[in-house]
Homo-oligomer: A and B are copies of this chain.
Amino acid sequence: MDVLTENPPFIFDTLAVVGVGLIGSSVLRRARAGHGLAQRLIAVDSNPEVCQRVRALHIADDITTDVAEAAQKADCVMICVPVGKIGEIAAQALPVMRAGTVLTDVGSTKVSVIEAVRPFLHHYHIAQNIAYVPAHPMAGTEFSGPDAGLANLFENRWCLLTPLENTPSEAVNAIRLFWQRCGAHVREMTPEYHDRVCAIVSHLPHLLAFTICGTADDLAEETRSQVLDFAASGFRDFTRIAASDPIMWRDIFLANKKALLEMFDRFMASAEMMAKAIYEEDTAYIVDRIQRGREIRKRLIENQQA
Contact = CB atoms under 8 A, between A and B. Distances in A.
A289 interface: yes
B239 A296 contact: yes
Interface in A143-162: 158, 160
Nearest to A303: B228
Given A208-B212, A227-B197, A228-B299, A279 B257 contact: yes
Question: How many copies of the chain does the oligomer comprise?
Answer: 2
B297 A201 contact: no
Interface stretch (A15-23, A57-65, A242-250): A242-250
A256 to B, nearest CB: 9
A278 interface: yes
A206 B234 contact: yes
A290 B242 contact: yes
A191 B297 CA distance: 33
Interface of A: 138, 140-142, 158, 160, 187, 193, 196-198, 200-219, 223, 226-244, 246-247, 249-250, 253-254, 257, 260-261, 263-264, 266-268, 270-272, 274-275, 278-279, 281, 283, 286-287, 289-300, 303, 305-306
